[in-house]
């Protein structure tokens, strides 16, 4: 056994050549990283992808492949597309909240007397924001 | 040539068996879908993944694999992790804007006279929101 073999060559039970495409990104002390990537993409697909990239971009490519592989292992149906949907929903909710809050400011500017007493009584009351927002829905 | 072969079996130049794992998700009229998935994951990895899932979840799994494969083909370095970073940055920006806007409402409620004249003169002026927000930074 060659203790200098990278994690990929160890997993694939092969000799680790001096110009191994995996070696710089899969050190022997972190075998799990290659196991996950291999399980989802297969060694030859990852090797092909890395070979197409300039070497200064390969670390980022392996990092993102590993992240996607982890998501796919955790959620075999949606992978990281599940996270993308969740983030898009979060953006939609925040945009809606922001639009309502901005409308609230414009409304208060145009009707200072109408809201002044409510404001002074309710600032700091978390339910007030929802109540006030309902004026603009 | 068997015209009934699915897009995967056509691409792999093999017979399409009646219980083909790919056939329900890769109709012959959409060959590109399998080409993209095959390029990133390889046929055997996709077959393995589908076999592990109950059949009612396989369409969603193929859809998400196709989306991830497309992102990886367009951006071989970051794949859909690039989109995830972008969405996370957008959420961070929106949360910051929302917090500032909410602080603005609270400030105006506590100091109605201080901002009333500015408000009446500046509502509708896009630069005012930035100016007003700077009070709370």
pLDDT digits (tens, 9 = 90+) for A103-125: 988 888 887 766 555 555 555 55
Among the partner-chain residues B44, B52, B68, the one whose CB lies closest to the CB of A80 is B68
Tell me the C-alpha distance between A67 and A44, whole Å: 18
- Per-residue model confidence as pLDDT tens digits over B47-89: 999 999 999 999 999 999 999 999 999 999 999 999 999 999 9
Among residues B26, B56, B74, the one where a domain terminates is B74
Contact list, A113 vs chain B (CB under 8 Å) = none
Tell me the C-alpha distance between B105 and B16, whole Å: 65
Looking at the predicted structure, is the pLDDT value of residue B130 above 90? no
Exposure string over A46-78, b if 16+ CB within 10 A, otherwise e: beebbeeeeeeebeebbebbbbbbbbbeeebbb
- Position of tokens 């007493």? A117
- Chain B nearest-CA distance from A81, in A, is 6
Tell me whether residue A128 is in a domain.
no
Do both A17 and A45 map to the same domain?
Answer: yes
Tell me whether residue B126 is in a domain.
no
Model confidence pTM above 0.90? no
From residue A124, alpha-carbon distances to A100, A111, A119, B74, B76 in Å are 18, 21, 9, 48, 49
Contact list, A69 vs chain B (CB under 8 Å) = none
Do both A20 and A67 map to the same domain?
Answer: yes
Q: Which residue of A has its CA nearest to B41?
A: A41
Tell me the C-alpha distance between B33 and B93, whole Å: 35
Do both A43 and A90 map to the same domain?
Answer: no
Contact between chains at B42 and A40 (C-beta distance less than 8 A)? no
User: What domain range is A38 assigned to?
Assistant: 1-74
- Per-residue model confidence as pLDDT tens digits over B76-128: 999 999 999 999 999 999 999 999 999 988 888 887 766 555 555 555 555 54
Which ipTM was obtained for this model?
0.77
- Sheet strands (E) in A54-110: none
* Mean pLDDT in residue range B20-28: 96
Q: For chain B, how many structural domains are there in total?
A: 2
Tell me whether residue A92 is in a domain.
yes
Tell me whether residue A98 is in a domain.
yes
User: Which of A44, A55, A108 is the mutation pick for testing B, counting most B CBs within 10 A?
Assistant: A108
């Amino acid at each position: 056994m060659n203790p200098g073999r990278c994690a990929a060559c160890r997993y694939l039970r092969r000799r680790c050549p001096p110009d191994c495409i995996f070696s710089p990104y899969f050190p022997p002390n972190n075998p799990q990283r290659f196991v996950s990537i291999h399980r989802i993409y297969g060694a030859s697909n990852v090797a092909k992808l890395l070979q197409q990239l300039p070497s200064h971009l390969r670390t980022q490519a392996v990092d993102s492949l590993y992240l996607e592989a982890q998501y796919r292992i955790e959620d075999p149906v949606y992978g990281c597309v599940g996270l993308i949907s969740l983030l898009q929903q979060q953006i939609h909710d925040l945009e809606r909240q922001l639009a309502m809050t901005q409308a609230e400011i414009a409304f208060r500017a145009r009707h200072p007397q109408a809201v002044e007493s409510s404001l002074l009584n309710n600032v700091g009351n978390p339910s007030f924001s929802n109540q006030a927002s309902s004026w603009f829905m």
